[in-house]
Amino acid sequence: MKTASIPLAALVSILLLPVCANALTAAGYYNRGVEKQRKGDLDGAMADYERALELNPKDANAYSNRGVIKRDKGDLAGALADYESAIKFNPKMALAYVNRGVIKRDKNDLDGAIADYNRAIELAPWDVSAYVHRGLVNPRKGDLDGAIADYDHALELNPKDASSYNNRGIAKSEKGDLDRALPDYDRAIELNPTEANTYNNRGVVKYKKGDLDGAIADLDRSIELDPKDANARNNRGNAKRDQNDLEGALADYNSAIDLDPKQANTYLSRGNIKNVMRRWADAATDYQRTCELSERGQDYPRIFIWLIRARLGETEAASKDLADYLAKRWKAAPGDWVSKVAGHLLGTVTEADLFAAAASPNAATERGQYCEAWYYTGLKKLLAGDKPTAAACFKKSLATDQKDFFEYQFAAAELKALSP
């Protein structure tokens, strides 16, 4: 899902300085810079702010506005220095704290960003932007309730702020509260019916709720509004896949990769479609690309590669590669679920131990892990030539009803292939 924030270009001091006496020339350059920045002439605005600061080096507004331009141009260090200067010369300038918080967020200094947003709110509790930006950082610290509270405040101050409805919907969705997320997306779309990412986000929630037709309709609209959004095409591909429109899903994944060839999840999704279509070599290539692009997202692609290579008669070499991967896996807890699954494929974890590990006090986690366990044990039986037992395992995987699990989809494909 995509959050919507106030564009930094909008966080500009639009105070026009009075043109008088000694400040005449400095104020004139500053005011002209504001007008140029409004019109998108960033280079012209930058030049005017620099001239204003030469003539009045204590102009906090000019520093703050120049910092916005530097940040837009990717010069985070220069922007940060300008915001520091703005705060130095006007310690009560709330906007400068908001803008400095954005830079700190960009540099992953989340605590520093929140401290700046807090200070901005102390100075200007009526400033919507401070709540919105703090709401964007809170989820990254795991505080979804804090984010929702910030968007609540923002909407009290500005009930027609579509982006806050969208972002609050995202926070509610991430909490698993899909029913309360939908009305926020509805309201955001009512206020701004041309914002592509809100349709994308609402489509994802509808997908999670099993409304595939509604999800595809929203994702169609998102893509219509922003044809270059690879994420929306990937999401629509997932919905088409679940409708068993494999060719349609594959077309969406292909388009998403054309638009963003470095998005690991799309290669994984496309690999899974090819896996279901029994295009083993092509699927393995996509899984390998997923591993190349994502250091932390390799666990299941590595397992899927092992399964494909085992089918193709390369079990010994595949097992060595998987074992090597497990030995240096990214910050993995010893004996975690993935290591149990991989260990079962490699013959170091028994079937009984795999199912014992699948049990969990969390019912949702347990259902998902049983879905996986039945699929992987079934695949091992199939590789050993025991088709009846394999089919029984695949049926038990489907009985968990974990339709959004890759293993559920693979089990369904295997059963179809085993049917006379």
Give the pLDDT band (50/70/90) at residue 173.
Answer: very high
**Greater confidence, 300 or 25?**
300
DSSP one-letter string for 69-125: HHHHTT-HHHHHHHHHHHHHH-TT-HHHHHHHHHHHHHTT-HHHHHHHHHHHHHH-T
Using a 10 angstrom Cβ sphere, with 0-12 exposed, 13-18 middle and 19 or more buried, the burial of residue 375 is buried
Query: Which residue intervals of 192-298 are DSSP H helices?
Result: 196-208, 212-225, 230-242, 246-259, 264-276, 280-293
Residues 70/73/77/78 CA torsion (nearest 10 deg):
-30
Condensed to tens digits (0 to 9), the pLDDT of residues 286-328 reads 999 999 999 889 999 999 999 999 999 999 999 999 999 999 8
If one counts every other C-beta atom within 10 angstroms of the C-beta of residue 84, the result is 15
Query: What confidence score (pLDDT) does residue 7 get?
Result: 54
Check residue 18 and give its pLDDT: 53
Give pairs for 209-213: CB < 8 Å, separation 24+.
Answer: 209/178, 212/239, 212/242, 212/243
CA 92 – CA 114 distance, rounded (Å): 17
* 228 C-beta neighbours (distance < 10 Å), count: 11
**pLDDT score, position 41:** 96
CA distance 271 to 285: 8
3-state class (DSSP) for residue 341:
helix
Task: Evaluate if residue 2 carries a pLDDT over 90.
Answer: no
Position 153 confidence tier, pLDDT thresholds 50, 70, 90: very high
- Contacts from 17-25 at CB under 8 Å and sequence distance 24+? 17/59, 17/61, 23/56, 25/55
Spatial contact of 189 and 206, defined as CB atoms under 8 Å apart: no
Work out the average pLDDT over 342-358: 96
Cα separation, 331 vs 371, in Å, equals: 25
**Percentage, residues of the chain above pLDDT 70:** 94
pLDDT score of 281: 95
pLDDT digits (tens, 9 = 90+) for 94-117: 999 999 999 999 999 999 999 999
Other C-beta atoms closer than 10 Å to the C-beta of 367 total 17
- pLDDT, residue 94, reads 96
pLDDT digits (tens, 9 = 90+) for 253-298: 999 999 999 999 999 999 999 999 999 999 999 999 999 999 889 9
User: 22 falls in which pLDDT band (50, 70, 90)?
Assistant: very low
| Confidence category of residue 25, pLDDT binned at 50, 70, 90 | confident
Residue 74 in this model has a pLDDT that exceeds 80: yes
Q: How far apart are CA 179 and CA 63, in angstroms?
A: 45
Q: Token digits for 35?
A: 């007008």
Residue 184 has pLDDT above 70, yes or no: yes
What six digits make up the tokens of 279?
Answer: 């295009």
Once rounded to an integer, what is the mean pLDDT over residues 57-65?
95
Confidence (pLDDT) at 23: 44
Mean pLDDT of the chain: 93
Residue 404 confidence (pLDDT): 84
Q: Give, in order, the Cα–Cα distances in Å from 358 to each of 152, 304, 307, 373, 374.
A: 40, 19, 20, 7, 10
Q: Look at residue 334 in the predicted model and tell me its pLDDT.
A: 73
pTM: 0.84
Q: How far, in Å, are 164, 165, 189, 192 from residue 160 at the CA level?
A: 9, 9, 11, 9
- 9 DSSP 8-state letter: G
d(CA 190, CA 188): 5
Whether the per-residue pLDDT at 218 is higher than 70: the answer is: yes
Percentage of the chain with pLDDT > 90? 90
